[in-house]
């Protein structure tokens, strides 16, 4: 005997359809956990000082805000204090989730620790080499601007000994070298609208939650062409 839905079954299907349609119109599409965007970095990825100075708050870090804009899974692989070398030592954690997209934000702690430029370059080069598989999309974010370099040098009391413009040029050379060696896209500026505004934490070197939200907007705009081409935007 052929079964029909009946009036209650039909109403149930209509309600389900309306819920799905409403979710789509509100941009609240379900997350596709099979596709991962890995945010791989230091305190600026982890969310240090987002809500309390010196404390990590991943719920208010830029990856958390970025998650609200995309319908793929965003994972935060930020560890506060990590140098490029320390991040390299834990790269297997990132590779374990087989990310489709990786944002690398590293180098600030190398800068502050006085690690040699050659060592920083070699470690970042190794990270990109290990992540590259011919299909994975990789972005490399610059952690500095003119203002940031000047402030960092002053913070570390190196201002009198080091020319900020020269220091910035040295890091520009690292990033341009990496971009020429590998198929990566540079994200030039994550700080405009954050640095020197009310969006900075009291520690003066990290954003507060509102600043991390602005950073997420910066990252999203850089990734938008690839995300849109693959239908990854909410």
**The pTM is what?**
0.87
Which pLDDT value is given to residue 163?
A: 86
Architecture of domain 31-229: 3-Layer(aba) Sandwich (3.40)
Helix (H), strand (E), coil (C) string for the chain:
CCCCCHHHHHHHHHHHHHHHHHHHHCCCCCCEEEEEEEEEECHHHHCECCCCCCCECHHHCHHHHHHCCECEEEEEEECCCCCHHHHHHCHHHHHCCCCCEEEEECCHHHHHHCCCHHHHHHHHHHHHHHHCCCCCEEEEECCCCHHHHHHHHHHCCCCCCCCHHHHHHHHHHHHHHHHHHCCCEEECCCCCCCCCCCCECCCCCCECHHHHHHHHHHHHHHHHHHHHHCCCEC
- Please report the pLDDT score of residue 191 as a whole number: 97
pLDDT confidence of residue 116: 96
pLDDT one-digit tens code per residue, 170-204: 999 999 999 999 999 999 999 999 998 999 999 99
Query: Could you tell me the CA-to-CA distances from 121 to 71, 156, 167, 207 in Å, in that order?
Result: 33, 21, 14, 26
Mind listing the pLDDT tens digit for each residue in 198-234? Answer: 999 999 999 999 999 999 999 999 999 999 999 999 9
pLDDT per residue over 2-35, tens digit each?
Answer: 455 555 555 554 444 444 444 444 456 689 999 9
């Amino acid at each position: 005997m052929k079964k029909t839905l009946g009036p209650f079954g039909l109403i149930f299907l209509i309600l389900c359809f309306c819920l799905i349609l409403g979710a789509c119109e509100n941009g609240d599409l379900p997350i596709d956990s099979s596709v991962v965007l890995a945010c791989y970095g230091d305190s600026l990825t982890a969310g240090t000082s987002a809500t309390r100075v010196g404390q990590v708050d991943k719920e208010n870090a830029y990856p958390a805000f970025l998650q609200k804009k995309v319908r793929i899974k965003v994972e935060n692989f930020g560890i506060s204090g990590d140098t490029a070398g320390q991040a390299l030592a834990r790269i297997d954690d990132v590779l374990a989730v087989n990310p489709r997209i990786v944002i690398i934000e590293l180098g600030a702690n190398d800068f502050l620790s006085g690690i040699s430029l050659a060592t920083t370059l070699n470690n970042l080069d190794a990270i990109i080499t290990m992540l590259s598989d011919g299909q994975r999309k990789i972005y490399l974010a610059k952690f500095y601007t003119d203002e940031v370099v000047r402030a960092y040098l002053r913070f570390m009391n190196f201002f009198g000994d080091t020319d900020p413009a020269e220091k910035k040029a040295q890091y520009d050379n690292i990033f341009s070298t990496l971009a020429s060696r590998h198929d990566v896209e540079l994200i030039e500026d994550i700080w405009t609208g954050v640095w020197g505004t009310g969006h900075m934490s009291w520690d003066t070197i990290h954003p507060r939650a509102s600043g991390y939200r602005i950073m997420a907007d910066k990252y999203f705009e850089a990734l938008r062409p690839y995300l849109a081409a693959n239908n990854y935007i909410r």
